Structure 1
Amino acid sequence: MLVALVGTLSLVIAVAGTFSFRSGLREAAELFDAKLAHSARVLMSLVDEPLGDAARQPAAEPLVIKVWHGNGPGEGHALITPDGHAYETRLAFQARDADGRLLLRSDSGPAQALAPLAPGYADVVIDGQSWRTFTLRAPSGRWYQASELAGIREEIAAGIAFGTLLPLLLALPLLALMVWLAVTWASRGLLRISAEIESRAPDRLAPIQLDRVPKEIQGLVKAVNGLLSRLDSALARERRFTADAAHELRTPVAAVKVHADNLRTARSEDERGESQEQLDASVRRIERAIGQLLVMSRVESGTATRDQAPVDLAALVQRQVEDYACLASQRGITLQLQVAPGQVVGDSASLDGLVRNLLDNALRYAPTGGRVHLGLHADQGQVQLSVEDSGPGVPADARERVFERFHRELGTGVEGSGLGLSIVAQVLESHRGRIVLDESPDLGGLRARVTLPAA
């Protein structure tokens, strides 16, 4: 900001100085031209009558008027002496008759014509020097010329222009200092907030107080407070995930150790076979728990909200049914599917986890030889998915609790982590959907009805 302000001021002063310099040169030139014309008129008024007799004597030599010659060193008052001004030596004048014969001249200029005999201004070069001349013709027919060296005009004009520009140039450092002081004073609040944020401990995520924050940066501080709040929530989720993972994996890991020891110390093939089966079951439980914990972590981290795109929910449901068809066949469960085209906007991986958890729950709670039915249809801007099973169902007073983490109804005889429906609820929250649990009118078990906005 300082560089921009000082640079802008410098540019403005440079442009203004350039126009001022050009204006000074123009005004000085006009002033000198007016003085030159005035000098010619004064000369004419003083010598036109006395020259009348000289004009009647063709053989007479021209009259040479001596002027004071000064060398003109220095500037300002140094050019002024008791005898006159140093710039006087730069002026010359001539008088000629109607035929161009020289009648009178000053010794400060050349003897040859200062300019062509034509009324008005002219610029000529004589003996390598540039002269500015004004020519005036008297009623008697005589010509009067007043001239001055162009160098003196340029010198004086440049002095006037630089005199106008110099205060602006001298004011620039002072302006830069004032701008720096003003910006430093105005940004003291920002520096204080920056120091406060920099000195904060990594675990201190409390919002920054806005009572002493300048209005100009309150929006920025509010945004930082929002970021701190999101970081606090993210860290809380990570801590909760770590605690949940430790809690959920502690029991199956202990079981794996017990069954591994039993397998190592087995004394017969029957004991070894039973221990091997128990060990395999424990590994599967750990695998399932880890998978569900990872899905839960992904859903809670907000990835599902960021990576949303059109998803063909019908194709997703069919793919999950095909994946679970083998498991259903092993347990003799009849898996029925009735889908219509339905597309939603969301995160494909999260929606895949939603359908997988609903179908997995239905298959695990359905008895051997039971039935599971999936239906999908779109209606009035919404896509509805229903998953029904012929299992024991969930009591009405427990249907809200099953969405809590690690909650499992006692007496079901089904192993699980208690995370399936919790994951479903998290996915629906990020996709603006809802779920209703009730009793299946056809199969008698649990019916889960999911509603999502259609694409």
Structure 2
Amino acid sequence: MLITLLGTLSVLMAVAGFFSYRAGLQEAGEMFDARLVQSTRVLVGLVDEPLGDLSAFPGDPIVLRGWHGRAEGVGEALAFTDGHAYESKLAFQVWDRQSRLLLRSDSAPVTPMAALVAGYASPVIDGEQWRTFTLRTAEGRWFQSGERSDIREELAEDIAGGTLLPLLLALPLMALVIWWGVSHVTRSLQRVSDQIGERDPERMSPLELGNVPREVHGLVQAVNGLLQRLHAALARERRFVADAAHELRTPISALKVHADNARLAADASARFKAQDLLQDSVGRLERLVAQLLMLSRTEATTRSPIARLSLDALVATEVDALRALLDLHSLRLSLTLSPVEVRGDEAGLGALVRNLLENAIRYTPSGGQILVEVGQENRAAWFSVDDSGPGIAEEERDRVFDRFYRILGSGVEGSGLGLAIVRGVAEAHGAVVTLQRSARLGGLRAVVAWPPHAPDAAGSL
């Protein structure tokens, strides 16, 4: 990070120096161009009229001598009482209308510095780049002033150097400040890393935000959220294992007893009876294990379901699969379906529908009636199951969603997991499960509803 920041600063300084040089060169050009014009006009005002007398007498041009010597440095080191070191880089010429040279500085050549055309020019004289300005007077004389271009370049370099040099001198200080800042942030991140590395898997308390820079608060909060979810998942798994171990102990013990009775039966009749009981126990154990696995998958679901599916088709499929069980209990089922689409997991919603239907079948007396409906109202989808069974007392309706909770005296075998599975699947799909008395059949009415704003509802809802 330190190398990247310092490298970036160095590049930015180089770019700033380049643009500063370009800007200085442009400003110097504008200033010196204006000075050339001014110098030419001053020269015209001073010598144009006196030169009128000389133009009638041909001869050698008048040469004005400047300061010649060696000088180094900048500013005052180049200035003297009798001249300036830059005089050799400045020149002027005066030509008459017959293109005869009348007057020149000793730094100017004897030929025109530029074509005798009014305006600016950029000629090359003796291998050096010059900038000239030519002005013609009313008497037809040509006045030319010029200067070498390296004067402008030196000025631009001075401007760029004056801008860039303080930055270059400040670079070590900036490096020190950046190093301190990076080290401070790194130490803070190292403390966070140490907290995570030393954390016991059994301790999922959140990380401390006190000494953490604000820039990494989002990271620490995300890690704290992950720790919280892991804590909830571990607690859920521990609770599931404990409950499963407790609930499996009794049917497994009964299974062993029936197996021993079948093995030790004194006659065929006793053995057949023990085998029937053994088969029933295996069936109950199979159902319990299947529901435990379904409950585990339901509680582990954390992502939002994304597949679009037809709720009415799903309900119709589950009803067809249970037709044999309905006939076995001599139950009449009425099915009312409206086309409704929701977003969800087909297996999970299938388990929800199946458990509600099985509960209604098991608790409805022989010859009773079940009413299944799927509909949509005010952009909210719903699925309901009514039965003519004994129903559930109002004070018990919240508790029956707890795992392994069963109402005493119902006379129906079960594991107490069906409604827990229903609630888990519904919550994972953004739906709400409610239990109430069926106004039409007198038993229980179970309703699963998707609110209009539920994130898992289909676009049509």
TM-score range normalised by the length of the shorter chain: 0.7 to 0.9
**Map of 1:51-450 to 2, 5 A cutoff?**
54-58=54-58, 60-70=59-69, 79=78, 84-136=83-135, 142-150=141-149, 152-167=150-165, 169-170=167-168, 173=171, 174=173, 178=177, 196-208=195-207, 224-260=223-259, 270=269, 273-302=272-301, 306-307=304-305, 312=310, 314-329=312-327, 332-342=328-338, 343=340, 345=342, 347-364=345-362, 370-377=366-373, 378=375, 382-389=382-389, 402-409=400-407, 414-427=412-425, 431-436=431-436, 447-450=443-446
Asked if the contact 1:399/1:437 (under 8 Å) is kept, the reply is no
Between the aligned partners of 1:191 and 1:88, the Cα distance in structure 2 is 66
**Which letter does structure 2 place at the counterpart of 1:448?**
L
Q: How many residues are matched?
A: 442
Between the aligned partners of 1:79 and 1:13, the Cα distance in structure 2 is 30
Residue 291 of structure 1 aligns to a residue whose secondary structure is helix
Asked if the contact 1:91/1:147 (under 8 Å) is kept, the reply is yes
Quickly say closer, same or farther: Cα 1:315–1:87, change in 2 above 3 A. Answer: closer
Asked if the contact 2:113/2:132 (under 8 Å) is kept, the reply is yes
Which is worse superposed, 347-356 or 309-318?
A: 309-318
CA distances 1:152-211 after superposition (whole Å, capped 9, x unpaired) = 334323333323442465267355655665677689877755654454333322234566
1:31 paired with 2:31, answer yes
Residue 353 of structure 1 aligns to a residue whose secondary structure is helix
Between the aligned partners of 2:170 and 2:97, the Cα distance in structure 1 is 58
Residue 61 of structure 1 aligns to a residue whose secondary structure is coil
* Structure 2: 5+ residue stretches without partners: 451-460
User: 1:425 Cα shift?
Assistant: 4.5
Identity of aligned residues (%): 48
Between the aligned partners of 1:230 and 1:186, the Cα distance in structure 2 is 27
Between the aligned partners of 2:228 and 2:218, the Cα distance in structure 1 is 15
Between the aligned partners of 2:33 and 2:341, the Cα distance in structure 1 is 87
**Which letter does structure 1 place at the counterpart of 2:329?**
I
User: 1:113 Cα shift?
Assistant: 2.0
Please give the TM-score of this superposition, normalised by the length of structure 2.
Answer: 0.75
1:451 paired with 2:447, answer yes
Which is worse superposed, 87-96 or 174-183?
A: 174-183
Asked if the contact 2:206/2:224 (under 8 Å) is kept, the reply is yes
Quickly say closer, same or farther: Cα 1:50–1:232, change in 2 above 3 A. Answer: same
Between the aligned partners of 1:44 and 1:366, the Cα distance in structure 2 is 122
User: 1:341 Cα shift?
Assistant: 1.3
Between the aligned partners of 1:137 and 1:398, the Cα distance in structure 2 is 113
Between the aligned partners of 2:223 and 2:68, the Cα distance in structure 1 is 79
Asked if the contact 1:314/1:339 (under 8 Å) is kept, the reply is no
Asked if the contact 1:344/1:452 (under 8 Å) is kept, the reply is no
User: 1:388 Cα shift?
Assistant: 3.0
User: 1:449 Cα shift?
Assistant: 0.8
**Which letter does structure 2 place at the counterpart of 1:252?**
P
Asked if the contact 1:94/1:146 (under 8 Å) is kept, the reply is yes
* Structure 1: 5+ residue stretches without partners: none
User: 1:227 Cα shift?
Assistant: 3.9
CA distances 1:87-107 after superposition (whole Å, capped 9, x unpaired) = 222233333334222234344
Between the aligned partners of 2:411 and 2:434, the Cα distance in structure 1 is 28
User: 1:290 Cα shift?
Assistant: 0.9
Between the aligned partners of 1:4 and 1:372, the Cα distance in structure 2 is 78
